[in-house]
Amino acid sequence: MSDLRELYQQVILDHNKNPRNYREMPNASRKVEGYNPLCGDHYTIFLQIDGDAITDVSFTGNGCAISKASASVMSSMVKGKSRDEAAKLFDTFHRLVTGDASGLDAAELGRLAAFSGVSEFPARVKCATLAWHTLNAALKGDGESVTTE
């Protein structure tokens, strides 16, 4: 069970059960769907952008615990950040879940650290990064949907 507890840390179980910013945003300036055809995970990310700042983030949709918790943590962490800061967070997160965590310190990771167990489960990396890829597409403003395939 030790690997499983690493993967399903309390933060992840909590965000899965009570996702933050889980709502539609009718006046969103950006709205992009993210889809993982392999397991059917499907989310919509809503953004409110003011100049360079991400002033509000929300999401709807469903999927596994890893993907939903990741979307929830992502939404709460990038709110109020600049585009560059959000891109940097994604880069940090991506390195963490793909096992390239050298040089990442705890302060930089914050709540992202809860996803450290994902790197031991290669099949779940796509679950963890789906919301982030979707955010990325929304920030770039290319297309209406993004898939992990």
Rule CB under 8 A: choose which of 14, 31, 39, 111 binds other proteins: 39
Residues in contact with other proteins, counted by CB under 8 A, come to a total of 22
Rule CB under 8 A: choose which of 7, 25, 57, 86 binds other proteins: 7
Least Å distance, CB 40 to other proteins, is 4
Q: How many CA atoms lie less than 13 Å away from 15 in the CB half-sphere?
A: 27
DSSP 82: B
Element (H, E) at 4: helix 2-7
Whether 40 and 64 have beta carbons less than 8 Å apart is answered as no
Binding segment for other proteins (CB under 8 A), chosen from 3-11, 77-85, 96-104, 136-144, is 3-11
- Does residue number 42 form part of the binding site for other proteins (CB under 8 A)? yes
Distances (CA, A) of 26 to 16, 23, 48, 51: 23, 9, 10, 19
Restricting to residues 62-101, name those near other proteins by CB under 8 A. 62-66, 68
CB of 16 or CB of 75, closer to other proteins = 16
Rule CB under 8 A: choose which of 74, 78, 114, 127 binds other proteins: 127
Rule CB under 8 A: choose which of 23, 24, 38, 99 binds other proteins: 38
Beta bridge partners of 58: 46
Amino acid at 10: Q
Least Å distance, CB 71 to other proteins, is 13
CA-nearest of 118, 115, 113, 128 to 34 is: 128
127-149 in b/e form (b: 16+ CB < 10 A) is bbbbbbbbbbbbbeeeeeebbbe
CB of 8 or CB of 22, closer to other proteins = 8
CB of 53 or CB of 64, closer to other proteins = 64
